[in-house]
Amino acid sequence: MTFEIDAKRGVANHYGVRTTNGKFGAQQNSSTIVKSAIWDFSYDDLPAAGTNGLQLVIPANATIVSATLYVDVAFTSTSTTTDLAIGLATSAGAEIDLDGLVTAANATQTTIAVDNSVITGSGALVGKGIGATAGELVVTPTASDLLTGKGRIVVQYVYNK
């Protein structure tokens, strides 16, 4: 698989099979004011900001309406203390709020260890604007010992001009 990025126009073209689509995010087609951004990820390939310029961004000055984590395959680890924090950072990797969507208290080892569970995020960005900088999704485990797991995060937002 090959990507060709045109920095001037801000577009990317791909050649061949795309096996990593979900990690970089996609926007669900919507004609309403509320937009939905969706990222699929696995325990060994978590979304990180600024890695290659392909990530979907939440636009600057957007207001986060909701953040929901869907656990498709239970997350397990070698310890009992691994939680997930889900938030936003700039494309340069600067923190906007690394647990502003789903906090570690929302996504505890107990809640993420159950197949098909739905976790509603209550981070500091939910119900508020993200500020003057566009944000890219960041998923951070509290310990680096995840063994299994797949999830999906859906962030609903309103773009404020």
What's the CATH code of the domain at 56?
Answer: 2.60.120
Look at residue 3 and tell me if it is in a domain.
Answer: no
Look at residue 131 and tell me if it is in a domain.
Answer: yes
> Hunting for tokens 């207001």 — which residue is that?
63
pLDDT tens digits, one per residue of 42-57: 999 999 887 677 788 9
pLDDT at 19: 45
Structural contact between residues 20 and 45, judged by C-beta atoms closer than 8 angstroms: yes
Look at residue 16 and tell me if it is in a domain.
Answer: no
pLDDT tens digits, one per residue of 81-105: 889 999 999 999 899 999 999 999 9
pLDDT above 90 (res 132) = yes
Look at residue 17 and tell me if it is in a domain.
Answer: no
Read off the pTM: 0.82
**Domain count across the chain:** 1
- Range(s) of the domain holding residue 147: 23-158
CB-neighbour burial class of residue 111 (10 A; exposed 0-12, middle 13-18, buried 19+): middle
Look at residue 12 and tell me if it is in a domain.
Answer: no
What's the order of all strands across the beta sheet hosting 84-89? 57-58, 135-141, 84-89, 95-102
Alpha carbons 48 and 124: distance in angstroms, whole number: 19
Q: Which residues neighbour 113 within 8 Å (Cβ) at sequence distance 6 or greater?
A: 74, 75, 76
Confidence bin at 18 (pLDDT 50/70/90): very low
